[in-house]
């Protein structure tokens, strides 16, 4: 398909710079075959049935934004994908000033050595520090806000909490699975009372999620790879819930992409551990999920292509037009949608 098919105009004042407070007070647009329904996130229990299962991503965002100096050049680094105990692939601002073997001081006792420059523009770094790299990153790095927020304001102390979900447990993401930012302990208690189940998996979200699609045809786009894991126990419980008539509702496109990566042709979900670069566009046959809760995405993005694959491009264009007309807040800190095809 043409990438232009997924374009739309978004007023800049609809880009959310802070999350709703409390989290479950965010608006939620319900998209079903019968039409659209304006709700709020705390209405979710009444929109699901006992036996349905919500699937959350338990990845935790690390301070993946680094700023260093090489001579008179300022080097900005956004970590993307871990390649080893002290190795990370990253996107780099001012990368033309670097060559293999160059050393950059990021402060707080953390240095990075350029080991490889890739054709996609990323750089493989080998980091050097005293002790564990995780501790050094927490000392030297800052929270990696999405570019559409970082371009309007710097990260601050509030983001350290705002940009983590209540399920965040396993460190490794450089972007939050933002659909789950809307959940609170009170909402989880209400879902429990309703009989809605929940499972967690892990997909360490990479910075590639924000990369623009630069080709004209979706068939020519190469998706970034991210590491994910679905445990054998979670897979078995999800299969049992579906066999009993429950729906599997992914909370966020990261959860959906990993579930579909782990699903067999017959729809059974298998244990999974490894990289996935699944790219979902209209025409894809969904095997694992029966619904998706997700925020509102960028025009021409792989994520808008994914939601269009789930409920139809014209349906999503209509839903986004409705959201824009009615002042829904967009992107990572914005409002939510519940897609029930």
Say what the pLDDT of residue 73 is: 86
Mean pLDDT of 90-96: 88
Say what the pLDDT of residue 71 is: 84
State pLDDT tens for residues 258-270.
999 999 999 999 9
Residue 120 has pLDDT above 90, yes or no: no
Q: Out of 86-95, 177-186, 236-245, 310-319, pick the least confident.
A: 86-95
More confident residue, 208 or 203: 203
* Helices of type H across the chain: 44-47, 133-140, 147-150, 157-162, 185-194, 232-243, 253-262, 302-311, 313-325
The pTM of this model reads 0.94
Q: What is 278-331 written as a DSSP string?
A: ----TT----S-SEEEEE---TT-HHHHHHHHHH-HHHHHHHHHHHHHTT--BS
| CB 199, CB 218: distance < 8 Å | no
Mean pLDDT of 137-155: 92
Residue 256 has pLDDT above 90, yes or no: yes
**Strand ordering across the sheet containing 248-251:** 35-40, 27-32, 336-339, 291-295, 248-251, 53-57, 197-203, 226-230, 272-276
Separation of alpha carbons 297 and 230, rounded Å:
25
Please give the radius of gyration of the chain, using alpha carbons only, rounded to the nearest integer: 20
Say what the pLDDT of residue 86 is: 96
Mean pLDDT of 80-98: 91
- Nearest Cα to 296, choosing from 321, 259, 314? 321
Q: Token digits for 35?
A: 């039409």
CA distances from 143 to 124, 149, 154, 206, 256 (A): 20, 12, 10, 13, 24
Within 8 A by CB and 6+ apart from 331, the residues are: 15, 16, 146, 148, 149, 178, 295, 296, 297, 298
Tell whether the torsion through CA atoms of 252, 258, 260 and 264 is positive or negative.
negative
Residue with tokens 């499972």: 199
The pLDDT-based confidence of 283 (bands split at 50, 70, 90) is: very high
Instruction: Tell me the average pLDDT of the chain.
Output: 95
Range with top average pLDDT, 65-69, 70-74, 256-260: 256-260
CA distances from 273 to 54, 129, 207, 230, 289 (A): 20, 29, 20, 6, 19
Angle of CA points 178, 309, 23, to nearest 5°: 20
Tell whether the torsion through CA atoms of 217, 218, 219 and 223 is positive or negative.
positive
Separation of alpha carbons 295 and 53, rounded Å:
19
The distance of Cα 68 from the centroid of its chain, to the nearest Å, equals 26
- Nearest Cα to 39, choosing from 29, 24, 25? 29
The pLDDT-based confidence of 56 (bands split at 50, 70, 90) is: very high
| CB 114, CB 99: distance < 8 Å | yes
Say what the pLDDT of residue 50 is: 98
Residue 93 has pLDDT above 90, yes or no: no
Q: Token digits for 55?
A: 């699937």
- Residue 264 is classified by DSSP as -
């Amino acid at each position: 398909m043409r990438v232009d098919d997924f374009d739309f105009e978004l007023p800049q004042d609809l880009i959310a710079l802070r999350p709703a407070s409390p989290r479950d007070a965010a608006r939620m647009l319900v998209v079903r075959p019968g039409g659209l329904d304006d709700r709020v996130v705390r209405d979710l229990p009444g929109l699901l049935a006992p036996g349905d299962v919500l699937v959350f991503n338990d990845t935790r965002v690390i301070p993946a934004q680094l700023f260093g100096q090489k001579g008179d050049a300022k080097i900005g680094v956004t970590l993307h994908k871990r390649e080893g105990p002290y190795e990370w692939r990253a996107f780099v601002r001012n990368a033309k000033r670097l060559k293999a073997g160059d050393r950059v001081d990021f402060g707080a006792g953390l240095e990075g050595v350029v080991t490889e420059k890739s054709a996609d523009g990323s750089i493989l770094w080998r980091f050097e520090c005293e002790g564990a790299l995780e501790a050094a990153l927490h000392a030297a790095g800052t929270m990696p806000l999405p570019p559409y927020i970082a371009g309007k304001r710097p990260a601050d102390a509030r983001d350290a909490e705002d940009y983590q979900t209540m399920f965040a447990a396993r460190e490794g993401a450089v972007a939050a699975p933002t659909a789950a930012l809307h959940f609170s302990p009170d909402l989880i208690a209400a879902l429990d009372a309703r009989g809605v189940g929940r499972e967690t998996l892990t997909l360490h979200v990479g910075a590639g999620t924000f990369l623009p699609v630069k080709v004209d045809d979706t068939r020519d786009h190469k998706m970034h790879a991210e590491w994910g894991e679905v445990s054998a126990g979670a897979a078995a419980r999800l299969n049992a819930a579906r066999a009993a008539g429950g729906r599997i509702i992914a909370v966020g496109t990261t959860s959906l992409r990993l579930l579909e990566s782990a699903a067999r042709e017959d729809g059974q979900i298998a244990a999974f551990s490894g990289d996935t670069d699944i790219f979902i566009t209209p025409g894809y046959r969904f095997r694992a999920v029966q619904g998706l809760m997700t925020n509102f995405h960028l025009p021409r993005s792989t994520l808008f292509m994914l939601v269009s694959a789930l409920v139809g491009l014209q349906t999503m264009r209509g839903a986004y037009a409705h959201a824009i007309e009615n002042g829904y807040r967009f992107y990572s800190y914005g409002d939510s949608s519940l897609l029930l095809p």
